[in-house]
Amino acid sequence: MPATLAQLGQIADATVRGNPELRISGAAGIRNAREGEIALVVDASYVPLVPRTAASALLVATDFDPASTQLPLLVAEEPAEAFDRVAAHLHPDPPPAEPGIHETAVVAPDALLGAEVAIHAHCVVESGARVGAHTVLRPGVFVGRDAVIGEYCLLHPHVAVLDRCTLGDRVVLHAGVVIGADGYGYETRDGVHYKIPQRGIVEVGDDVEIGANTTVDRARYGRTVVGSGTKIDDLVMVAHNVVVGDHSLLIAQCGIAGSTALGHHVTVAAQAGIVGHIEIGDQAIVGAQAGVVRDVPPGQIVLGSPAQDLARERRALVVHQRLPDLAKRVRALATAVEQLQQRINHLECGAEDRP
Amino acid sequence: MPATLAQLGQIADATVRGNPELRISGAAGIRNAREGEIALVVDASYVPLVPRTAASALLVATDFDPASTQLPLLVAEEPAEAFDRVAAHLHPDPPPAEPGIHETAVVAPDALLGAEVAIHAHCVVESGARVGAHTVLRPGVFVGRDAVIGEYCLLHPHVAVLDRCTLGDRVVLHAGVVIGADGYGYETRDGVHYKIPQRGIVEVGDDVEIGANTTVDRARYGRTVVGSGTKIDDLVMVAHNVVVGDHSLLIAQCGIAGSTALGHHVTVAAQAGIVGHIEIGDQAIVGAQAGVVRDVPPGQIVLGSPAQDLARERRALVVHQRLPDLAKRVRALATAVEQLQQRINHLECGAEDRP
Amino acid sequence: MPATLAQLGQIADATVRGNPELRISGAAGIRNAREGEIALVVDASYVPLVPRTAASALLVATDFDPASTQLPLLVAEEPAEAFDRVAAHLHPDPPPAEPGIHETAVVAPDALLGAEVAIHAHCVVESGARVGAHTVLRPGVFVGRDAVIGEYCLLHPHVAVLDRCTLGDRVVLHAGVVIGADGYGYETRDGVHYKIPQRGIVEVGDDVEIGANTTVDRARYGRTVVGSGTKIDDLVMVAHNVVVGDHSLLIAQCGIAGSTALGHHVTVAAQAGIVGHIEIGDQAIVGAQAGVVRDVPPGQIVLGSPAQDLARERRALVVHQRLPDLAKRVRALATAVEQLQQRINHLECGAEDRP
């Protein structure tokens, strides 16, 4: 919803410098803001970007030098928070989904639906499934037989929650997420891989958010667990029987192999991989692209593939980047040692010659 | 389906120790079993986990020391196999899908459907496509024009098999799998990338299983092949014109670039990548996170990025992790050599001084 | 559409050698062509494959030695281009989609549809959305509230373009692509991660093609941008507020973290990762599996994790692969230096002894 600079100043509890009638159509990052938009100068590191921005106004902190730009300004005590309010006004949340079941949705007669659920077009809710009150299933969501979705959940288009899997309350699954595909388990006899039935489920706690096209596989027995408060990014792979503790963060494209257990408040950075059957302690951090092959104690930060303690790996990487120099130095040393050997040979001959 | 310990003992052909009337509601892994569940102590390595488990009963081997726990036990000769039977009883397979075409499915009049197919809600089967007998398309599956699905296949929700691609018999595709998106091919002229038409198909053999959200692209010409008996995990990317031999294993998040050929019984571990236009020999193994840039002979195991023979790479990784020590040792050697040089200079001067 | 060799010779403007009545059913790569198919010998590097091919005919250049095979040949001046024409005849493009809205599609009454759009079964177009003329939405596509799709776009099955995101003209999105899932942003207070609203959009330029199951997240504010002419492969992850310049190439399974800006004609190879908040200059190339942690100047080629200049990293990798040898050499030098020290000690003692 567009607004004048004066209106945004009121919303942001900020002082207006410049034309109060200037019409602002949106909020954007300073790097790619466009004409008509307002951008945030969150701290001094953004000041060099000011001359290059195409924004029509800036929201700045009180210590910003107003002489450094011609742009109209909103000056706020807490600029980040003020900008959130401005952005919320310019780009309001969509209206809440109307409760109700779309006529094209296919809901089994024995599915249990809570109060005020919204089930959009082309959703399927199979027999025995439960959908908690106030939950929204956007178009094309699949909820399998006997699956359980908690209250106030939001399942984006084309999400699949397969048979018997469970979600807690206030869970957000982004488009294309698959909860409860079979774990990858085979027994090989005479070169043929026979499927090991995957009879378990996935159990997702409360307040979990999972990014687009991420997959969490069902357990062989028991359950694959995503703890409450944990946030998972896009295209992450969580294998069967993994336990992810509460309040952990799994960043884009990382993968956790089967039966590994993560504690609470663990961070796994982008594109990292963790082998199966190990334990990652509480509050441990696995660096981007790391490959973790053994247990990580609580609180440790690891990096590299195979991963080791951050400080060690960083030093190793510094040396790695200079490996050609190191190799050259070793070659030079070898030459120097050879020369020394010849000189000593010579000296020793002289010493022997002496009577 | 819950059961008493006595009933499970009969099912497992196991001896019951403890209350035979104990009611068991599920089977689970020993690490995250809950009250009411039975867990497996498959071998001695699991014994340390026994005191910490929340399971209400254990299934153990005959050499398990019953004095080591208070928990009721099922004692079996072949515990892994016995536990499979117990789990199958507690968590039975879902009933087979009822044959039939859901009223919301859209099936082209000229599509050929085998006997007893089940086509669930919101599926689309386009013109000229064939679906073999006893195959199940779960909700939201898309089968493109002239595609061929074999018999006894199971396509999970939201799978897409695009035009003209073919699946053999007994193929399982998990939710979100895409078979036959266009390969990534462009010709660049004057900085503009022009699409190279991708006219080929994907051909998937018999008894293949493919994990959630994996993509297998169609060939530029001819076919991208996934051989019979091959099992692919979640979020794997198989590019155009790749040939994956029979009975191979592609683990989560690995990727195979265009026109590369894998032999039979090849294993590609998680997050590994293989460049295009090379050959990976039969029974070769590519380690996790490896980056393979040249042919791998049959049977070889490779690791690292760029990948090399496992033994060599392992030794290199041991040195890598100690690189700071190595660099320090080289610096110390340089100092030592310098000192030697000075001492020899001194000795040589002395030698010259002598008459 | 099958053809005789003579017909294909006409189509390809090529000379026929061998039986002109031979019936050809398809075009394929020389490695996995089958009986009845024609394969291309594009240059001399393919000649060794000729004796092993199962193709029934070959299309070759004028300098191909016809005595080297028994197979019937088409001989062409420009074999690659000729083969394209042959393949286009054997595997013609599918007929264009019939315009119209399928009866099972759910299109909001206030959505704006251009001329000749084709909206297939089970699509959903929400309120306020616009779909440009001649655009095709294949089955199960979701277009969110106020989203804008340009003209002549092709959205494959199960694509999701979420609320307010925009696509230019002639955009191709392959199956399972998700445009506009929320960016991954949380503020952590007392160990609890609170969602930062993601109020921005994704803006995709003209002539963009995006591969299967790739995800491009919406901006926190403003927009995540995919520039015109850019081509993205399968399973790529583009995070919130990223700007990808025009005519760039993002290859399979690579990932770009939040707020990073890529110039035009940038190439990011497979499985590479780029951290957030940095800049990758025009025409830079990021090698496969690289991990980029700082700005890359225009035109630079980087490799490794952390990435550095290609030439440096290549030299480092050569040394890396020989690290055990280097370590052994350092050990040998240490021994040599020790021996020298002892010999010098001895010489120095002798020198002192002398009067």
The pLDDT tens digits of the residues spanning A248-271 come to 999 999 999 999 999 999 999 999
C94 in contact with chain B, both atoms CB, cutoff 8 A: yes
Task: Quote the pLDDT of residue C31.
Answer: 84
Q: Which residues of C touch B239 (CB under 8 A)?
A: 234, 252
- Per the domain annotation, does B82 fall within a domain? yes
Q: Which residues of B touch A237 (CB under 8 A)?
A: 233-235, 252-253
> Which of A225, A273, A337 lies closest to B337 in CB terms?
A337
If one counts the domains in chain B, the total is 3
Q: Tell me which residue in C29, C102, C247 faces B192 most closely, judged by beta carbons.
A: C247
Could you tell me if C235 and C289 lie in one domain?
yes
The closest alpha carbon to C120, from C133, C110, C130, C107, belongs to C107
Q: Does C170 share its domain with C266?
A: yes
Which pLDDT band holds residue A218 (cuts at 50, 70, 90)?
A: very high
Q: Please, which residues have CB within 8 angstroms of residue A86's CB and are 6 or more apart in sequence?
A: A8, A11, A12, A27, A38, A59, A74
Region A56-84: mean pLDDT is 94
> Is residue B222 one of the residues assigned to a domain?
yes
Q: Where are the alpha helices (DSSP H) in chain A?
A: 5-12, 79-90, 310-321, 323-353
Residue B277 contacts C, CB cutoff 8 Å? no
Rounded Cα gap, residues A292 and A272, in angstroms:
8
What token pair was written down for A245?
A: 């503790």
Q: Is the dihedral of CA A337, A341, A343, A348 positive or negative?
A: positive
Tell me the whole-structure pTM to 2 decimals.
Answer: 0.95
Give CA–CA dist B298/B275, Å, rounded.
17
C32 vs B176, B225, B305: nearest CB: B225
Asked if residue C95 is part of any domain, the answer here is no
The total number of residues shown for chain C amounts to: 355
Q: Are C334 and C253 in a shared domain?
A: no
Q: Which residue has the tokens 């609580």?
A: A298
pLDDT tens, position by position, C247-296: 999 999 999 999 999 999 999 999 999 999 999 999 999 999 999 999 99
| Whether residue A306 has a cis bond before it, omega within 30° of 0 | yes
Whether residue C317 lies inside any domain: the answer is: no
The verdict on A144 and A260 lying in the same domain is: yes
Q: What is the pLDDT of residues C7-59, one digit of tens each?
A: 999 999 999 999 999 999 999 988 889 999 999 998 888 899 999 999 999 99
CB B184 within 8 A of CB C214: no
Q: Is the pLDDT of residue C355 over 90?
A: no
- Which residues does chain C have within 8 Å of residue A213's beta carbon, measured at their own beta carbons? 176, 178, 213, 215, 235
B164 shares a domain with B45: no
- Residue to mutate among A221, A243, A346, with most B CBs inside 10 A, is A221
Which residues of chain A from 137 to 156 reach within 8 Å of chain B, CB to CB?
Answer: 140, 142, 144-145
Contact residues on chain C for A53, CB-CB shorter than 8 A: none
Q: Which of C240, C264, C277, C346 is catalytic?
A: C240
Confidence check: pLDDT of B350 > 80: no
Neighbours of B159 (CB within 10 A): 31
The answer, for B37 touching chain A at a CB cutoff of 8 Å, is: yes
Instruction: Please identify which residue in the block is written with the tokens 């004692």.
Output: B75
Residue A285: other Cβ atoms inside 10 A: 20
For residue C141, give the nearest of C101, C84, C88 by alpha carbon: C101
User: Residue B126 contacts by C-beta under 8 Å, 6 or more apart in sequence?
Assistant: B108, B111, B143, B144, B145, B146, B147, B163
Do the Cβ atoms of A224 and C229 come closer than 8 Å? no
- Asked whether residue C81 is assigned to any structural domain, the reply reads yes
Average pLDDT score, chain A? 95
CA distance C118 to chain A (A): 19
Residue B8 belongs to a domain: yes
Cα angle C298, C300, C301 (rounded to 5 degrees) comes to 140
Identify the pLDDT of residue A352.
64
Residues of A in contact with C354 (CB under 8 A): 354
A24 and A123 co-located in one domain: no
E strand intervals along B152-242: 154-155, 160-161, 166-167, 172-173, 178-181, 186-189, 192-195, 201-204, 209-210, 215-217, 223-226, 231-232, 237-238
C-alpha C213/C-alpha A105 separation (Å) is: 24
Domain C-terminal end among C90, C125, C153: C90
The Cα–Cα gap between C215 and C204 comes to: 12
Asked if A181 and B156 come within 8 Å (Cβ–Cβ), the reply is yes
Question: What is the rounded CA–CA span in Å between residue B259 and residue B273?
Answer: 14
Assess whether B112 and B258 both reside in one domain.
Answer: yes
Catalytic residues of B: 240
Question: Binning pLDDT at 50, 70 and 90, where does residue A109 land?
Answer: very high
Given a cut of 80, whether residue B355 has pLDDT beyond it is: no
To which residue do tokens 């980087």 refer?
C302
Residues of A in contact with C344 (CB under 8 A): 344
The answer to whether A225 contacts B139, with C-beta atoms less than 8 Å apart, is no
Spatial contact of A156 and A138, defined as CB atoms under 8 Å apart: yes
Judged against a pLDDT cut of 90, whether residue B140 lies above it is answered with yes
Question: Residue A279: phi, psi to the nearest 5?
Answer: -125, 135
Asked whether residue A170 is domain-assigned, the answer is yes
B212 and B76, same domain (yes or no): no
What are B168-179's pLDDT values in tens digits?
999 999 999 999
What is the tens place of the pLDDT at every residue in B190-205?
999 999 999 999 999 9
Q: What is the pLDDT of residue B264?
A: 98
- Measured in angstroms, the CA of A33 and the nearest CA of chain B are apart by 26
The answer, for A229 touching chain C at a CB cutoff of 8 Å, is yes
A144 and A54 in one domain?
no
Give buried/exposed letters for B284-303 (b at 16+ CB in 10 A, else e).
bbbbbbbbbeeebeeebbbb
How far is C267 from A57, CA to CA, in rounded Å? 34
Q: Which of C234, C265, C317 sits opposite B191 (nearest CB)?
A: C265
For residue range A156-181, list pLDDT tens digits in order. Answer: 999 999 999 999 999 999 999 999 99
Q: What is the ipTM of this complex?
A: 0.94
Residue that is last in its domain, among A90, A108, A140: A90
Q: Is residue C65 part of a domain?
A: yes
- In this structure, the strands spanning C201-204 and C223-226 are parallel
Q: In this predicted model, what pLDDT tens digit does every residue of C133-176 receive, in sequence order?
A: 999 999 999 999 999 999 999 999 999 999 999 999 999 999 99
pLDDT single digits (tens) A235-248: 999 999 999 999 99
Q: Which residue of B has its CA nearest to A121?
A: B122
pLDDT in tens, C52-96: 999 999 999 999 998 889 999 999 999 999 999 999 999 988 888
Window 41-80 of C: residues touching B by CB (8 A cutoff) are none
Last residue of a domain, which of B56, B90, B124? B90
**C231 plus C347 within the same structural domain:** no
Residues in chain B, overall count: 355
Q: Which residues from B are below 8 Å from C40, CB to CB?
A: 221
State whether B271 and A261 contact (CB < 8 Å): no
- Judge residue C161's burial from the number of C-beta atoms within 10 Å of its C-beta, 0-12 exposed, 13-18 middle, 19 or more buried: buried
Specify the range with the lowest mean pLDDT, choosing from B42-46, B85-89, B119-123, B192-196. B42-46
Residues A274 and A307: their CA atoms lie apart, in Å, by: 9
Residues 6+ apart with CB under 8 A from B231: A184, A186, A193, B208, B209, B210, B248, B249, B250
The parent domain of residue C9 ranges over: 3-90
Residue B354 confidence (pLDDT): 57
Mean pLDDT of A95-101: 90
Active site residue C240: yes
Query: What's the token pair of residue C230?
Result: 């850019």
- Which tokens in the block code for residue C9? 């010779």
A180 and A252 housed in the same domain = yes
Check B255 against C249: CB less than 8 A apart: no
Tell me the two tokens of residue A244: 């992810």
Write out the two tokens for B333.
């050697």
The A residues from 281 to 340 touching B (CB cutoff 8 Å) are 289, 291, 304-306, 308, 312-313, 315-316, 318-320, 326, 329-330, 333, 336-337, 340
Residues B199 and B329 in one domain: no
- pLDDT for the residue C353: 64
Residue that has been written with the tokens 């919301």 in this structure: B104
